[in-house]
């Protein structure tokens, strides 16, 4: 434009033509400038406004003229699609946060979240009850001020007897670390174990009292009956015992002695069950162990179906006692129907499973198998399977017994890890 004006005004033109053409050139330049601004600057401003809205999490703004067949329209179209996606994600995030907040508020565990400085940032309703104060009074306070600082250090999981402002009892305390906005935080979860432990203790006492009452009454009832009969004999004979009553006295005293011995054996069985020693861990070849135990019971041949040659880490004596109990029960059942007993083992997922199958009549009530002193065999003590399961659990494994599905009989499965060692066995209580 400058060159055109220069040529126009230095050329041999009339003043009228110069001003007319100069005005026309300037007018075209101004109109072209506005057209370029409308085509370039305004779309850039629109894009800038849309990006600013996205940066402020405003997903309600849309660009006009979005169409895939034009370069600028395609940019608008992609930006509108991104806005719709972010709006849906934000809605999902808000709903998830609301659900998480409701779950945290309603959960029975006390939950505390502390930031990197040790200040409390979040507490749920159970935490408010535990501390005896509202969330507004607790939020922002330091862990040391709330007397929770010691739980943010040391072991991640512990069980302690603690007196909190809102409640005292036995608590399970767990600590976990997480990051929020790139900054480290700590989550403290406190569970009340008192009610659970009291209920478990109550159920254990009920079972123990029921079993003890049953066994003791079974022994005391005939002793009382025989004693009253013998007293009646003495009263009839005026304190002078005749020779004819010797047999009655002998039978009565024999019954009393028998029931007393039965009661003694019962208490000895309970003491044995309650005092299972910790296992002494060492390498135990499974194949040799099974063949050795299978050959012990000579009442009926026990078939051994060969499995992999593996070695487990266990207490050889306790494992042998476990298998003796299980195989003996299988043989007892097989003798009733003249069936067979088969033992085999397999390895799957770093664990060995030993299976004992019998062809007996099966179990009428499998639910009571692991109840202490429950037995279906005449003269049985009712502790064999309970003791066997304790041994299995002390080695980090498990023992299950159930009826077979392919035919009559039972299947006992002992599963032990090939890598894990043993754990301290559970104590059932102290025998008196």
Q: 373: alpha, beta or left, given left = phi > 0 and alpha = psi -120 to 50?
A: left
Q: How far apart are CA 151 and CA 158, in angstroms?
A: 9
pLDDT at 341: 92
pLDDT at 305: 92
Q: What does the pLDDT look like over 378-409, one tens digit per residue?
A: 555 556 777 788 888 888 888 888 888 888 88
Cα 60–Cα 64–Cα 65 angle in degrees, nearest 5: 150
pLDDT at 422: 42
Nearest to 127 by CA among 143, 145, 104, 149: 104
| 221: confidence class by pLDDT, cuts 50, 70, 90 | low
pLDDT at 2: 82
Average pLDDT of the chain is 78
Q: Is the pLDDT of residue 344 over 90?
A: yes
Task: Note whether 368 and 396 are within 8 A (CB).
Answer: no
Q: Is the pLDDT of residue 216 over 70?
A: no
Q: Is the pLDDT of residue 429 over 60?
A: no
Write the CA distances from 54 to 44, 50, 76, 80, 387, integer angstroms.
Answer: 15, 6, 13, 10, 67
Per mean pLDDT, which of 190-194, 411-415, 421-425 is the most reliable? 411-415
Residues of the chain with pLDDT > 70, as a percent, come to 74
Q: The pTM is what?
A: 0.44
- Least confident residue range of 171-185, 265-279, 313-327, 392-406: 265-279
- Least confident residue range of 188-202, 298-312, 384-398: 188-202
pLDDT at 104: 79
Can you say how many angstroms the Cα of residue 79 is from the centroid of all Cα atoms in its chain?
46
423 or 96: which leads in pLDDT: 96
Per mean pLDDT, which of 89-103, 264-278, 325-339 is the most reliable? 325-339
Q: How far apart are CA 296 and CA 325, in angstroms?
A: 11
| 424: confidence class by pLDDT, cuts 50, 70, 90 | very low
| 342: confidence class by pLDDT, cuts 50, 70, 90 | very high
Domain boundaries along the sequence of the chain: 2-93, 107-192, 218-274, 282-417
- In order, the DSSP letters of 276-344 are PPPP--EEEEHHHHHHHHHTT--SSPEEEE-----EEEE-HHHHHHHHHHHHHHHHHHHHHHT--EEEE
Q: How far apart are CA 157 and CA 318, in angstroms?
A: 31
Strands (E), 50-164: 110-114, 120-123, 157-163
Q: Which residues pair with 184 in a beta bridge?
A: 179
Q: Is the pLDDT of residue 364 over 60?
A: yes
- Residues ≥6 apart with Cβ < 8 Å to 416: 312, 314, 351, 352, 353, 354, 392, 395, 396, 397
Backbone angles phi, psi at 6, to 5 degrees: -65, -45
- Residues ≥6 apart with Cβ < 8 Å to 140: 119, 120, 121
How big is the chain, counted in residues?
A: 432
Q: How far apart are CA 93 and CA 96, in angstroms?
A: 5
Residue reference for tokens 């997903």: 59
Q: Which fold has domain 282-417?
A: Heat Shock Protein 90 (3.30.565)
- Residues ≥6 apart with Cβ < 8 Å to 293: 320, 323, 324, 327
Sign of CA dihedral 209, 210, 214, 217: positive
For 304, the token pair is: 């051994």
Write the CA distances from 372 to 340, 380, 390, 399, integer angstroms.
Answer: 27, 12, 11, 15
pLDDT at 423: 43
Task: Note whether 327 and 356 are within 8 A (CB).
Answer: yes
Q: What does the pLDDT look like over 228-237, one tens digit per residue?
A: 776 676 666 6
Q: Is the pLDDT of residue 241 over 60?
A: no
For 263, the token pair is: 């009661």
For 193, the token pair is: 């174990």
Q: Which fold has domain 107-192?
A: Beta-Lactamase (3.30.450)
């Amino acid at each position: 434009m400058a060159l055109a004006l220069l040529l126009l005004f230095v050329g041999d033109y009339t003043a009228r033509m110069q001003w007319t053409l100069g005005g026309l050139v300037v007018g075209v330049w101004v109109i072209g400038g506005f057209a370029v601004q409308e085509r370039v600057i305004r779309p850039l401003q629109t894009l800038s406004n849309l990006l600013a809205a996205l940066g402020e999490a405003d997903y309600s703004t849309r660009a006009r003229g979005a169409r895939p067949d034009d370069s600028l329209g395609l940019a608008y179209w992609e930006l509108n699609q991104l806005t719709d996606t972010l709006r849906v994600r934000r809605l999902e995030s808000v709903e998830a946060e609301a659900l998480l907040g409701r779950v945290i508020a309603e959960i029975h565990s006390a939950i505390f979240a502390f930031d990197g400085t040790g200040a409390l940032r979040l507490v749920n309703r159970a935490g408010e009850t535990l501390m005896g104060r509202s969330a507004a009074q607790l939020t922002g306070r330091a862990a040391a001020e709330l007397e929770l600082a010691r739980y943010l250090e040391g072991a991640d999981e512990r069980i302690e007897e603690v007196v909190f402002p809102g409640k005292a009892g036995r608590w399970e305390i767990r600590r976990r670390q997480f990051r929020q906005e790139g900054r480290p935080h700590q989550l403290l979860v406190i569970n009340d174990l008192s009610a659970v432990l009291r209920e478990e203790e109550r159920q254990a006492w009920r079972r123990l009292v029921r079993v003890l009452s049953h066994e003791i009454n079974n022994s005391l009832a005939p002793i009382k009956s025989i004693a009253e009969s013998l007293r009646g004999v003495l009263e009839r004979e005026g304190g002078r015992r005749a020779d004819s009553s010797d047999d009655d006295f002998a039978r009565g005293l024999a019954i009393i002695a028998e029931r007393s011995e039965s009661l003694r054996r019962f208490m000895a069985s309970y003491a044995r069950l309650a005092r299972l020693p910790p296992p002494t861990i060492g390498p135990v070849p499974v194949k040799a162990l099974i063949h050795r135990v299978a050959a012990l019971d000579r009442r009926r041949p026990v078939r051994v179906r060969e499995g992999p040659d593996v070695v487990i880490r266990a207490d050889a004596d306790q494992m042998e006692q476990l298998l003796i109990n299980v195989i003996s029960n299988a043989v007892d059942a097989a003798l009733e129907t003249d069936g067979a007993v088969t033992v085999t083992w397999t390895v799957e997922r770093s664990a060995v499973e030993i299976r004992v199958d019998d062809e007996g009549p099966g179990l009428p009530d499998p639910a009571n198998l692991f109840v202490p002193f429950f037995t279906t065999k005449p003269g049985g003590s009712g502790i064999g399977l309970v003791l066997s399961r304790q041994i299995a659990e002390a080695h980090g494994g498990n023992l299950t017994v159930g009826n077979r599905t392919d035919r009559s009989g039972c299947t006992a499965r002992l599963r032990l890890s090939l890598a894990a060692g043993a754990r301290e066995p559970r104590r059932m209580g102290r025998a008196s």
